């Protein structure tokens, strides 16, 4: 399978993954915002529970980053949509992420890599961070206590957003894990916020905007 070039407009496409084709959605920065030399790859929640690149939290994160001038890449892990393969408990999904990042870096060699993930996607992106070395990592509701986070190495620019009323990921388990890990991070606790950020997506947008704005290569040009 021959991979397509990186598009300049919003496009769905397929990339060659480790076990077959991967569904991918690429979106450029918002048209009225100065473009940043950044591509953000965003990972979706649990495949076996209906998670996909069209999840509303994943979509909101992508829209928010585009408001800051960042091109975004969302994709379906293996077994989701028309992405080939079967669910692999986060192991093969890391390989899917690495394949997407390899394509981004080959197509946009001058761009800085950012990674973001929601829930299971936060686990996968954290697990792959040591190898992929993103400049920024955004972890939304990282499922500490549900998946094995031993040995993760997040970058220095790490934003963690956690709902205080999360019914799936125990917020205290996340806070305890962050304390134990001891890695530099910016933690945003969102009061009265459930796992899927029901009625809180605008607040999530604000948390992402304010959390990462200072890490932009050209922060003075950001208008959001």
Q: pLDDT in tens for each of the 224 residues of the chain?
A: 789 999 999 999 999 999 999 999 999 999 999 999 999 999 999 999 999 999 999 999 999 999 999 999 999 999 999 999 999 999 999 999 999 999 999 999 999 999 999 999 999 999 999 999 999 999 999 999 899 999 999 999 999 999 999 999 999 999 999 999 999 999 999 999 999 999 999 999 999 999 999 999 988 777 65
Residue 185 main-chain phi, psi, to 5 deg: -160, 160
CA distance 211 to 208: 5
CATH class of the domain comprising 11-219: alpha beta
Rounded distance between C-alpha atoms, residue 167 and residue 141, angstroms: 11
Query: CA distances (Å), 179 to each of 111, 172, 173, 176, 184, in order?
Result: 32, 10, 10, 5, 10
Q: What integer pLDDT is reported at residue 224 of this predicted model?
A: 53
pLDDT at 207 (0 to 100): 98
User: Packing angle between helix 91-107 and helix 120-132, nearest 10 degrees?
Assistant: 60
Q: How far is CA 222 from the centre of its chain?
A: 20
**In the chain, what is the straight-line distance between the N-terminal and C-terminal CA atoms, in Å?**
39
């Amino acid at each position: 399978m021959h991979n397509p070039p990186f598009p300049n407009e919003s496009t769905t496409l397929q990339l060659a993954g480790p076990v077959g084709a991967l569904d991918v959605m690429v979106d450029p920065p918002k048209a009225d915002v100065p473009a940043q030399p950044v591509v953000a790859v965003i990972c979706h929640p649990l495949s076996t529970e209906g998670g996909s690149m069209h999840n509303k939290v994943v979509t909101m994160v992508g829209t928010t980053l585009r408001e800051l001038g960042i091109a975004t890449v969302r994709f379906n892990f293996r077994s989701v949509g028309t992405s080939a393969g079967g669910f692999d408990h986060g192991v093969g999904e890391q390989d899917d992420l690495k394949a997407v990042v390899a394509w981004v870096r080959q197509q946009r060699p001058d761009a800085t890599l950012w990674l973001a993930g929601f829930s299971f996607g936060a686990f996968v992106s954290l697990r792959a961070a040591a190898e992929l070395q993103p400049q920024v990592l955004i972890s939304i509701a990282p499922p500490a206590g549900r998946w094995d986070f031993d040995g993760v190495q997040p970058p220095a620019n790490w934003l963690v957003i956690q709902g205080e009323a999360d019914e799936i990921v125990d917020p205290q388990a996340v806070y305890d894990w962050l304390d134990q890990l001891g890695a530099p991070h910016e933690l945003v606790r969102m009061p009265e916020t459930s796992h899927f950020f029901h009625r809180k997506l605008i607040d999530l947008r604000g948390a992402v905007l304010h959390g990462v704005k200072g890490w932009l290569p050209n922060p003075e040009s950001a208008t959001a």
